[in-house]
Amino acid sequence: MLRRESTKRELIGNEGMVLLDMIRRLNRRSATGHLLKLIEKTHPADTAWIFRHLTEKERSEIFSIIAQTKMIGEFLSELDDAIMVLLVQQLTPQYMANVIADMASDDAADILEAIPEELADEIRKYMEKKDLEEVEGLLQYHPESAGGLMSPDFLSLEEYLTVDESIAIIQQKSEELEMVFYLYITHNDGKLAGVISLRQLLMNSPKRKLKDIMNPHVISVSTDTDQGEVAHVVSQYNILAVPVVDSAYNLVGIVTVDDIIDVIREEATEEFLQMAGAGKDREILLKSTIDSAALRAPWLFASWIGGVMAMIIIGTFEHELSQVLALASFIPIVMGMGGNIATQSSTIIVRGMATGRVNMSALWNVIFKEMRVGVLLGVLYGLFLGVLAYFVHHEPKLLGVVVGLSIFGSMVMAATIGTVIPLILKRFGIDAAIATGPFVTTAIDIVGVLMYFYVAKMLLGL
Amino acid sequence: MLRRESTKRELIGNEGMVLLDMIRRLNRRSATGHLLKLIEKTHPADTAWIFRHLTEKERSEIFSIIAQTKMIGEFLSELDDAIMVLLVQQLTPQYMANVIADMASDDAADILEAIPEELADEIRKYMEKKDLEEVEGLLQYHPESAGGLMSPDFLSLEEYLTVDESIAIIQQKSEELEMVFYLYITHNDGKLAGVISLRQLLMNSPKRKLKDIMNPHVISVSTDTDQGEVAHVVSQYNILAVPVVDSAYNLVGIVTVDDIIDVIREEATEEFLQMAGAGKDREILLKSTIDSAALRAPWLFASWIGGVMAMIIIGTFEHELSQVLALASFIPIVMGMGGNIATQSSTIIVRGMATGRVNMSALWNVIFKEMRVGVLLGVLYGLFLGVLAYFVHHEPKLLGVVVGLSIFGSMVMAATIGTVIPLILKRFGIDAAIATGPFVTTAIDIVGVLMYFYVAKMLLGL
């Protein structure tokens, strides 16, 4: 939800560390009164940040103080899920039901979704029917859809109201509502009709009807729109909130820009981890060693397979290797240069697709461009290495040519594969960020080593 | 700047491609009238998106139509710089001066900064003194600071005004101003005093003074605050805009959340490219082949150096290699597994630092955790490979042990180096994303190969 507009001054870098130290020290001295005062002066988002840097024992002790303040709800919604899930088990289900009742219903739904089902069911028993229905209504949507992101606590006005009637409604109601900067306007059947900003409302004469002054071309998303697309809409059109409609175009909620910022950050983090083959759990740093290893093992398996294939291929060239032992020395550089230029190409393409910068209607241009870059860089580093190899190993005479050509070939091939694989994955509707890493590295390992030994065999006449 | 609230429905995926096709077709048929109508119905941000997917000739032709509409200013500010810079050269400096005069001054400053200096100077000659001064005032700040991001077109009210006086001012002025959802309040010397939202204003009685109803704890940033920190403040506290003050705490501008979204996206893209050693120019896809190669060459040089060192190291083990030729087959897998787990670790750490999830006060815990993950995964894949090697190569008997141990050692070492290097870089104030890639890969190449041959030499008694 969008918070109240005003808080203390910012908490950046050092200020955060100072606050962390103070909280730790007060806790060590069991100075509960001072600690309570300090926490009440601190923004819940900052307290949540501090919690990342505490030990489990400290978290538990300080949480028992926060649990007694009115901030508990906002604090819980700011915490990383992995930490939140552990802490709420300190509270009774009855107490949690009260906390949740005071929270914005989208935040309440997020919490009920994250905690163990058993506990969530216990809490539900103590919730009031009205609150529960609102939360359950939100939980029916996929958490990564507009329905899962939206808040149902918004203000909508019917189109036949006048300006001064609208202002009166806002003055009565707005305290508990989100984002009353845009006022969404419905036909009397609840279908979305238009939008007007609070400021535009104020600039019209009191007796005009909303119908006549609203903007009917309102941007909206539907409940099942993917959160990435919602983020795209909000950032493409620079708006502060977007209304969410159901399949009958009834207005059912709004998604505010602060939630969109979280989506953008989270999706970037997931994309980073996926490209590095480290799963997509953005709280991986908070996971146990075993869980972290389990998230990372699959991609390493793909790379292990690539390595085994390279091993088999090199094995078949044992004869050639025994004739020119120096060939072995160049294996790392031939494969490394290929792997690295492939990483560059695939990162540029995957990120380019994510930011809409890859021209999907001119894919050949994109591919040829990367190939040309591969040729340029391949010639450069192939020459460097060829000349170096010639001076280091005088025999066989052509060794410099072999390694130079292999670097060249491996880099051109790697740039091409690194570009083509994400594009193909995308065409087949597969998330390019997830699968690109393993496919690309495995392919490069195999093709690179094959090319190198083949060139050596040909040119050296082995 | 923050745009008007309302536009057409969203443009996502297919809808964008359909629009692209229509625009292309109308342009091919030189149907200028229809094209003009279509463009006027399209949001400038969408038209800018379309331009990424046009040829240079198409861009030039369609731009000559857009240049005649009122949308030209907003369109230019939505374009990627690389495209914008080429197109504005089609217009006369005098015409551009008019276009710029109608733009928000932060957008105008961005354009004058991006185009060639000569052209900018020409345009300046035709600008009115008042506009020019405002733009020049913005250009004095670093483009990646709050001063470079902020808009000076905001509404500020003095603290002695009453609620109804304030509303009257808003009704008169707000058309040309940004973000009148928060009203910033100053003392009569221009220093920032507090904030109130437009909604809160409406909920107070008309005769109260702003001084008595404002929130004096206003979050602000200073003109030289880095844009990443501004983004952190806005997203940490879920606010829609943040006021910018100069060194004397005078209110000089505001940064709105839509600009923050751009900053977050841009910084994520830059971090992606840097981690892959592909420079940090987020418009790299729009660059020429030569420029793209030049941006990517330096990191490849680091990896080339690593490869050459590996070559030299393997050269010194020529005797051992000649005894057990099979050792060569395992070079790719030993190095690959090390390189890949290092990429995982360093990505997790670099991204963790960017999102504030790395516990900087318990670095040893972070490092030991990654080492434990390295041990787990090293045992797993070391065993896999050791057993496989034993069955593939019966002689020498210990070869399986050698490669198993080497995979294990290389993965533990790589996870550690991949964790420690970004942490060290950060400690020395070096941007971890830029430097981690080259340092880590070079280090892993060298240490990995050295460890492998040393283990082989010891265990096989060569």
- Asked whether residue A29 is domain-assigned, the answer is yes
- Whether B232 and B306 map to the same domain: the answer is no
Q: Say yes or no: B136 and B160 in one domain.
A: no
CB contact under 8 A, B219 and A348: no
Question: Is B271 inside a domain boundary?
Answer: no
Tell me whether residue B273 is in a domain.
no
Measured from the Cβ of residue A134, the count of other Cβ atoms closer than 10 Å reads 18
Task: Examine the domain organization and report whether A80 and A190 are in the same domain.
Answer: no
Predicted local confidence at residue B3, as pLDDT: 41
Alpha-carbon distance A122 to nearest alpha carbon in chain B (angstroms): 31
Cβ atoms of A106 and A244 closer than 8 Å: no
- Put simply, the chain B residues between 73 and 92 with a CB less than 8 A from any chain A CB are 80
Q: Which helix (H) or strand (E) holds A222?
A: strand A221-222
What Å distances lie between residue A320 and A117, A144, B107, B278, CA to CA? 62, 55, 63, 36
Q: Which of B54, B169, B272 to mutate to test the interface with A (most CBs of A within 10 A)?
A: B272
Those residues of chain B that have pLDDT short of 70 are 1-14, 174-180
Of A11, A218, A334, the CB nearest to B6: A218
Are the CB atoms for A99 and A87 separated by under 8 Å?
no
- For residue B191, the 8-state DSSP code is B
- Provide the chain B residues 423-442 that lie in CB contact (below 8 A) with chain A: 441
Helix (H) / strand (E) element for B142: namely none
Instruction: Choose the final residue of a domain: A112, A143, A174.
Output: A143
Pairing of strands A241-245, A221-222: parallel
- Chain A residues whose CB is inside 8 A of the B17 CB are 360-361
Provide the pLDDT for residue B238: 86
8-state DSSP, B174: G
Contact (CB<8Å) B362/A260:
no
According to DSSP, residue A224 is labeled T
Residue where one domain finishes, among candidates B112, B141, B170: B141
Q: Report CA torsion sign: B66, B72, B76, B78.
A: negative
Q: Tens digits of per-residue pLDDT, B42-69? A: 889 889 988 988 888 999 999 999 998 8
Question: Under 8 Å CB-to-CB from B13, ≥6 apart: which residues?
Answer: A229
3-class SS shares of chain B: helix, strand, coil, % to 5: 65, 10, 25
Q: Evaluate whether A146 touches A255 at the Cβ level (below 8 Å).
A: yes
Same domain for B99 and B57, yes or no, is yes
Is there a single domain that holds both residue A134 and residue A69? yes
Instruction: Report the pLDDT value the prediction gives residue A174, as an integer from 0 to 100.
Output: 59
Give chain A's mean pLDDT: 88
The encoded tokens of residue A25 equal 């020290």
Closest residue on chain A to B369 (Cα): A289
Q: Which domain, by its residues, includes B239? A: 156-264
Whether A199 and B215 lie within 8 Å, measured CB to CB:
no
Entry pTM: 0.84
Do A311 and A366 reside in the same domain of the chain? Answer: yes
Are both B232 and B300 inside the same structural domain? no
Domain with residue A87: its CATH number is: 1.25.60.10
Same domain, A325 and A351: yes
Q: Does B387 touch chain A (CB under 8 A)?
A: no
- Based on the fold, state whether residues B297 and B248 are members of the same structural domain: no
In this complex, is the C-beta atom of A284 within 8 Å of any C-beta atom belonging to chain B? yes
B372 and B256 assigned to the same domain:
no
Is residue A404 one of the residues assigned to a domain? Answer: yes
Q: Please report residues of B whose CB lies closer than 8 A to that of A195.
A: 5-6
**B121 to chain A, minimum CA–CA distance in Å?**
30
**How far does A33 lie from chain B, in Å, by closest CA?**
23
CATH number of the domain residue B170 falls in: 3.10.580.10
- Regarding whether B385 and B332 lie in a shared domain, the answer is yes
- List the beta bridge partners of residue B423: none
Inter-residue contact B166 to B183 (CB < 8 Å):
yes
Angle between helices A399-427 and A432-460 (to 10 degrees): 150
Measuring CA to CA, which residue among B12, B462, B315 is closest to residue A234?
B12
Query: Tokens at residue B416, please?
Result: 């550690």
**Alpha-carbon gap, residue B239 to B219, rounded angstroms:** 9
Q: Check residue A337 and give its pLDDT.
A: 92
On whether residue A301 sits in a domain, the answer given is: yes
Q: Give chain A's residues under pLDDT 50.
A: 1-12
The enclosing domain of A390 has a CATH number of 1.10.357.20
Number of domains in chain B: 3
Tokens 């040729």: give the residue.
Answer: A375
Identify whether B243 is preceded by a cis peptide bond (ω within 30 of 0): no
Q: Which of A45, A285, A332 sits opposite B331 (nearest CB)?
A: A332
Q: Is residue A452 part of a domain?
A: yes
Nearest to B310 among A1, A199, A333 (CB): A333
- pLDDT in the model for residue A102: 87
- Confirm whether A38 is domain-assigned: yes
User: Is B37 part of any domain?
Assistant: yes
CA–CA distance from B285 to each of A375, A390, B87, B299 (Å)? 17, 36, 18, 18
Q: Do B203 and A171 touch (CB under 8 A)?
A: yes
Phi, psi of A193 (to 5 degrees): -115, -35
Read off φ and ψ for residue A191, nearest 5 degrees. Answer: -80, 145
- Would you call B445 an interface residue with chain A, using a CB distance cutoff of 8 Å? yes
Write out pLDDT tens, residues A441-458. Answer: 888 889 999 999 999 999
A160 shares its domain with A138: no
Instruction: Check: CB of residue B52 under 8 Å from CB of residue B81.
Output: no
Give the 3-state secondary structure percentages of chain A, helix then strand then coil, rounded to 5.
65, 10, 25
Domain boundary among B207, B229, B264: B264
